[in-house]
């Protein structure tokens, strides 16, 4: 399917993009390069959404703050999953035979904090682990507390994580268990860079005693866990 982009004012879209996401570039050469990537991404978005209108896709795309990055750059900056072939936990989740709801939204149950932004740091593993801990802490105590991803970035390296260069939620859980807790977001805010560990025991926001893995590739077990347990930490090999 060929597309005609002659009616698209890319200069206007580019200006709006830079203003909306406070984009600043080092020089005209870099801006020209980023604009060319942006234009190609916008073309892909337009083409995809036209196809979605024709029923060829089940979702639509839109411009966000990453529209001036190539796919390779985005993967390099943001995909922080550090693959580990070995299952880390000796405990595996065993789903029970139960009728499951058609859908579940744990936000409505008060188990999910606001949307957070990892920025240009491969710390998705830390956000994934923290969200799961936040959910279980809220479920157990009735109090939803935003917890510190930055603490995991800075402090869990000896457990096999690599800060902004990737990690795994199981290793984060092991650190939190051994450390005796994780600080609140307010006391240890996110910086999106590797830093010195600044954990303070007096500002712990939550503790965990153990974690349970879902067998890799078992979608039925994952479905049960999402429906019955709460927000689940997952790693996607993207």
CATH number, position 209? 3.90.70.10
Cα–Cα distance measured from residue 64 to residue 42, given in angstroms and rounded to the nearest whole number: 10
In a domain, 80, yes or no: no
Residues 28 and 134 in one domain: no
| Residue 90 belongs to a domain | no
pLDDT at res. 95: 65
Q: What's the pLDDT at 230?
A: 96
Q: Residues 175, 224: one domain?
A: yes
77 in any annotated domain: no
Q: What is the number of structural domains in the chain?
A: 2
d(CA 155, CA 176): 10
The DSSP secondary-structure symbol of 186 reads: T
Do residues 88 and 160 lie in contact, with contact meaning Cβ atoms separated by under 8 Å?
Answer: no
Q: Supply the pLDDT for residue 33.
A: 94
The answer as to whether 87 is a domain residue is: no
The reported pTM is 0.70
pLDDT, averaged in runs of 10, over the chain (238 residues):
69 93 91 94 94 93 92 72 54 66 93 94 94 98 98 96 92 97 98 96 97 88 92 84
Q: What is the pLDDT, as a whole number, of residue 238?
A: 62
User: Whole domain around residue 182: which residue ranges?
Assistant: 106-228
Domain stops at, among 22, 53, 69: 69
How far apart, in whole angstroms, are the C-alpha atoms of residue 158 and residue 177?
Answer: 14
Residue 63 shares a structural domain with residue 111: no
């Amino acid at each position: 399917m060929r597309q005609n982009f002659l009616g698209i004012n890319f200069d206007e879209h580019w200006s709006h993009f830079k203003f909306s996401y406070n984009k600043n570039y080092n020089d005209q050469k870099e801006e020209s390069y980023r604009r060319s990537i942006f234009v190609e991404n916008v073309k892909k978005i337009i083409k995809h959404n036209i196809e979605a209108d024709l029923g060829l896709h089940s979702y639509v795309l839109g411009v966000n703050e990453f529209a001036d990055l190539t796919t390779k750059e985005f993967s390099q900056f943001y995909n922080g999953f550090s693959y580990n072939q070995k299952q880390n936990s000796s405990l595996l989740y065993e789903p029970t035979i139960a009728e499951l709801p058609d859908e579940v939204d744990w936000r409505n149950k008060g188990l999910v904090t606001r949307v957070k932004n990892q920025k240009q740091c491969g710390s998705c593993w830390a956000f994934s682990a923290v969200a799961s801990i936040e959910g279980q802490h809220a479920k157990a105590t009735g109090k939803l507390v935003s917890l510190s991803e930055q603490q995991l970035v800075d402090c869990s390296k000896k457990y096999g994580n690599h800060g902004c260069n990737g990690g795994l939620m199981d290793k984060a859980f092991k650190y939190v268990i051994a450390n005796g807790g994780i600080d609140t977001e307010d006391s240890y805010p996110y910086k999106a860079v590797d830093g010195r560990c600044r954990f303070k025991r007096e500002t712990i926001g939550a503790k965990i005693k153990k974690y349970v893995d879902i067998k890799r590739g078992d979608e039925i077990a994952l479905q049960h866990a999402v429906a019955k347990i709460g927000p689940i930490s997952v790693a996607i090999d993207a």
